[in-house]
Amino acid sequence: MITFKEIRNHPDIKAYIQAGNDALGIMGYTEHGFAHARKTAEVAAEVLLRYNATDREVELGRIAGYMHDIGNMVNRENHAHTGATVAFQILNGLRMVSEEIATVVSAIGNHDEGSGKVINRVAAALILADKSDVRRSRVRAPNKDYYREDIHDRVNYAVTQSKLVVKEDVDEIRLELTIDTHICPVIEYFKIFIERMFMCQGASEKFGAHFSLMINGNILM
């Protein structure tokens, strides 16, 4: 069986993630490279573990999380669909079991809020992991004056703490954020992320849980 370690060390996957991150950097996007890939893989696996997934399902969550943004090397537009196609070619070449390819590829192809659907548990875990990765270190702006010009940079830079918390005792998945309101008001977070938060709501329901958003100690969703 194909392992996460093999995927993480695969030279083609490394090249595609790097190329995608470089391209988005030129376009002015936040970091979408190895740090985001690792973070998404880790959190997706943790969510599945907390909901009693099998070891193999957890491994597929890691693989999908790590590979989910490789389509950015082609274009940001429809990157989820492009990434799913690229992932299929790689995983098929590695002779991964067809049913597992289908799980990973469908999760990657459905992670974007523009067209994605929560079609399986791996997809749900990927969505929660991806959409919760908001943090200052993703901002590439060279100085404070520059980051203030773009709302995505401004919001990410304002987030000083971010944690996805699974509360099994009350069937709740909560995204807890600390936002420096001297950098941006909380409303700006909702302005760019509200669609993603509703997607997280649907992903949480796949695990029989409800989704909540806590910002600066206040439950807002």
Query: What is the distance between the alpha carbons of residues 133 and 39, in angstroms, rounded to a whole number?
Result: 7
**Beta strand pairing status for 172-179 and 218-219?**
unpaired
Scan for tokens 């990765």, then name that residue: 133
Sheet with 159-167, strands from edge to edge, namely 159-167, 172-179, 210-215, 218-219
Domains in the chain: how many in total? 1
CATH number at residue 89: 1.10.3210
Percent of the chain with pLDDT over 90: 88
Asked if residues 126 and 132 have their Cβ atoms less than 8 Å apart, the reply is no
Beta bridge partner(s), residue 219: 214
pLDDT of residue 12: 97
Range of the domain at 164: 4-219
Question: Are the C-beta atoms of 58 and 135 separated by less than 8 Å?
Answer: no
Question: How far are the Cα atoms of 36, 84, 146 from residue 142, in angstroms, in the given order?
Answer: 19, 32, 7
Q: What is the pLDDT of residues 146-186, one digit of tens each?
A: 677 788 899 999 999 999 999 877 799 999 999 999 999 99
